């Protein structure tokens, strides 16, 4: 057995023992949404416009117990969804989860990322969250996925950051030392880890970080095992992350939590430093942010694309007025004037904004100009709605 096969077998054994994620099975669609799993919202974030079609193919690569898969089915009612995973035990949970909630437009395959070429056809959206960093060769895994991405398609990825997981790495190594020959017995590893945390002093750095950041989820053994006794984990810095991205041959579209990557949130009190930072490349600025704020950067989540990916530009008033607006599907509390936006932040709509969203809700034919004949809203305010991902725009016929 090769090293890669041995690692893959160990990872499969972990998730057979502790199916992950451990969210409860429901007899109804799951609550809420993650906009990254909603094709119109994700496409608009990456391109600035509503996608031209909804009948797409989606791959959940490393679907685990089907939590993300279930959302992908329910949030994209015209899509065909495929889920793959190397853990047979976890796939059984995924099948039951989707069957119970009515997510019936999905098929599952017992495959690793490396074998994704066995699937027929290409995919418009590939979701790969929390998977690549647990493979023996992430570059090979990402390249395999890239080959299955259709032109104009999007790939959403989530991998771990080295700096924000420093205490986790220390605990992983401590557990491994104490397990000795029992390493690979994941139940024993969880038991050892919990004993360590219970024994360490209250002011211990590892204890404090666990309580501040992870303890709520880690009360479940599945989460504790995934974090502290995983047999394979590769963490990244900005430099090594972009080595991975560059090897994929795909285009980096951007981080899907862009607010974290704004240097102004860290250096707003030092405009001279922001002026200096403006001379840096994007990657250098990203590196500066993770150096200055390592506790926040525990992971990287981002979109890649296979060109050509058309990008909309709404800076021209004529183009904006000719566009066809539609309300974003990722709102909780609509049609209240106070609601949760795509990122579950509370927003308060002014009357004119609410009126425009009301007129745009489900709209397929009326242009911005036509709606503005009935609703008094400045174009600058409309652009703000687009920036906030509250409105999705389709280019008009003149563009």
Residue 399 lies in a domain: no
Taking the alpha carbons of 143, 145, 149, 154 in that order, is the dihedral positive or negative? negative
pLDDT band at residue 374, thresholds of 50, 70 and 90?
A: very high
Q: Mean pLDDT across the stretch 109-123?
A: 98
Residue 310 lies in a domain: no
Whether residue 152 is found in the same domain as residue 180: no
Residue 200: predicted pLDDT = 98
Average pLDDT, the chain: 97
Residue 1: predicted pLDDT = 81
Residue 398: predicted pLDDT = 56
Residue 399: predicted pLDDT = 46
Whether residue 101 is found in the same domain as residue 167: no
Q: Mean pLDDT across the stretch 32-61?
A: 98
For the chain, percent of residues with pLDDT exceeding 90: 99
Reply yes or no on whether the pLDDT at 216 is more than 60: yes
Q: What is the pLDDT of residues 135-146, one digit of tens each?
A: 999 999 999 999
Q: Mean pLDDT across the stretch 54-83?
A: 98
User: Domain of 94: which CATH number?
Assistant: 3.40.50.150
For the chain, percent of residues with pLDDT exceeding 70: 99
Residue 35 lies in a domain: yes
- Candidates 106, 84, 98; CA nearest to 29 is 98
Residue 246 lies in a domain: yes
Whether residue 217 is found in the same domain as residue 95: no
- Candidates 387, 398, 396; CA nearest to 45 is 387
Q: What is the pLDDT of residues 225-270, one digit of tens each?
A: 999 999 999 999 999 999 999 999 999 999 999 999 999 999 999 9
Whether residue 68 is found in the same domain as residue 175: no
Whether residue 112 is found in the same domain as residue 167: no
Determine if the pTM surpasses 0.85. Answer: yes
Looking at the 3D structure of the chain, how many domains does it have? 3
Whether residue 124 is found in the same domain as residue 199: no
Q: Mean pLDDT across the stretch 154-170?
A: 98
Whether residue 143 is found in the same domain as residue 274: yes
Residue 312 lies in a domain: no
Residue 397: predicted pLDDT = 73
Identify the domain boundary among 305, 330, 357. Answer: 305
Whether residue 278 is found in the same domain as residue 364: no
Q: What is the pLDDT of residues 296-317, one digit of tens each?
A: 999 999 999 999 999 999 999 9
Identify the domain boundary among 173, 202, 228. Answer: 228
For residue 377, the enclosing domain spans: 317-394
Whether residue 258 is found in the same domain as residue 149: yes
Reply yes or no on whether the pLDDT at 165 is more than 60: yes
Residue 311 lies in a domain: no
Q: Mean pLDDT across the stretch 89-94?
A: 97
Mode of pairing for the β-strands spanning 346-348 and 338-340: antiparallel
Q: Mean pLDDT across the stretch 141-162?
A: 98
Whether residue 184 is found in the same domain as residue 106: no
Residue 178 lies in a domain: yes
Identify the domain boundary among 254, 274, 305. Answer: 305
Reply yes or no on whether the pLDDT at 205 is more than 90: yes
Whether residue 174 is found in the same domain as residue 64: no
Whether residue 73 is found in the same domain as residue 183: no
Residue 144 lies in a domain: yes
């Amino acid at each position: 057995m090769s090293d890669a096969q041995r690692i893959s077998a160990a990872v499969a054994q972990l998730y057979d023992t502790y199916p992950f994620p451990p969210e409860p099975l429901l007899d109804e669609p799951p609550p809420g949404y993650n906009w990254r799993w909603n094709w119109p919202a994700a496409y608009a974030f990456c391109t600035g416009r509503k996608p031209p079609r909804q009948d797409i193919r989606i791959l959940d690569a490393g679907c685990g117990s089907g939590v993300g898969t279930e959302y992908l089915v329910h949030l994209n009612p015209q899509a065909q969804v495929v889920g793959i995973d190397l853990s047979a035990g976890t796939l059984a949970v995924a099948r039951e989860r989707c069957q119970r909630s009515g997510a019936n437009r999905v098929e599952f395959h017992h495959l690793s990322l490396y074998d994704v070429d066995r699937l027929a056809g290409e995919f418009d959206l590939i979701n790969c969250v929390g998977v690549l960093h647990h493979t023996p060769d992430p570059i090979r895994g990402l390249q395999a996925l890239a080959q299955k991405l259709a032109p104009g398609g999007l790939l959403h990825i989530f991998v771990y950051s080295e700096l924000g997981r420093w205490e986790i790495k220390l605990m992983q190594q401590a557990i491994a030392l104490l397990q000795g020959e029992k390493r690979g017995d994941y139940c024993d590893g969880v038991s050892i880890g919990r004993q360590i945390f219970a024994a360490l002093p209250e002011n211990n750095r590892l204890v404090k970080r666990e309580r501040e950041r992870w303890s709520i989820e880690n009360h479940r053994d599945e989460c504790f095992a995934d974090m502290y006794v995983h047999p394979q984990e590769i963490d990244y810095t900005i430099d090594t992350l972009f080595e991975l991205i560059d090897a994929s041959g795909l285009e980096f579209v951007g981080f899907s939590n862009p607010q974290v990557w704004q240097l102004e949130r860290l250096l707003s009190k030092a405009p001279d430093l922001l002026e200096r930072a403006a001379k840096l490349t994007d990657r250098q600025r990203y590196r500066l942010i993770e150096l200055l704020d390592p506790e926040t950067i525990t992971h990287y989540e981002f979109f890649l694309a296979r060109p050509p990916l058309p990008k909309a530009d709404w800076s021209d008033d004529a183009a904006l007025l000719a566009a066809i607006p539609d309300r974003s599907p990722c709102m909780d509390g609509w049609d209240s004037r106070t609601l949760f936006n795509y990122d579950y932040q509370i927003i308060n709509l002014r009357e004119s904004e609410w009126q425009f969203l009301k007129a745009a809700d489900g709209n397929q034919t009326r242009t911005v100009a036509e709606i503005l004949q009935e609703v008094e809203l400045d174009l600058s305010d409309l652009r703000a709605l687009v920036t906030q991902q509250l409105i999705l725009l389709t280019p008009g016929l003149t563009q």
